[in-house]
Amino acid sequence: MIGILIFWLIFAIVVGVAADARGRNGVLWFVLAAIISPVLALILLLVQPDLKQSASGMLAAAAFEPAGVLGGIPYRVADDGSIHAIMQGATVRFSDFDRFSRALDPNSPPGAQPMPPPPPNTSSSDNPYNEASPEGQAWARGIAARKAAEGRQ
């Protein structure tokens, strides 16, 4: 009889540790497993969604605030000078802007510099660059892409 009680408590501890690993209250799940049944509590735990996995995905997506958009790809510059970009739903790290721009356009010249992001709600008439210059054309393309993106929302 004492062996069954020890097995029951050890298995209840295992359920509590598993619950903690899945982002749940380990102590509460230990108590639940000790009262009802460790097997039944484990089944109930495994049916519940994994909170740690879903929370980390939401935090990563919510924490990314782009400093600009290049070629339709939002990016930001990290403290170490690397570029973090959202590509196909994942954050991709580039060691410098040159590698980032070449990943978007293999024909881009080495040493290309990022365009500063336009202020919100700007129109093409607010273009600070000469319309005929490459910077002015890039600005106009950025405004058109922004308007297209706003139209899709």
pLDDT per residue over 81-94, tens digit each?
Answer: 788 888 877 788 88
- For the entire predicted model, the pTM comes to 0.39
Q: Output the DSSP codes for 6-50.
A: HHHHHHHHHHHHHHHHTTS-HHHHHHHHHHT-HHHHHHHHHHS--
Model confidence at 73, pLDDT cuts 50, 70, 90, reads confident
Please report how the helices 26-35 and 2-21 are oriented relative to each other, as an axis angle in degrees rounded to 10: 150
pLDDT at position 33 over 80 = yes
Token pair 């881009």 in the structure block, residue: 108
Amino acid at 146: R
Where are the chain's structural domains?
2-57, 64-117, 119-153
Q: How many other C-beta atoms are found inside a 10 Å radius of the C-beta of residue 142?
A: 21
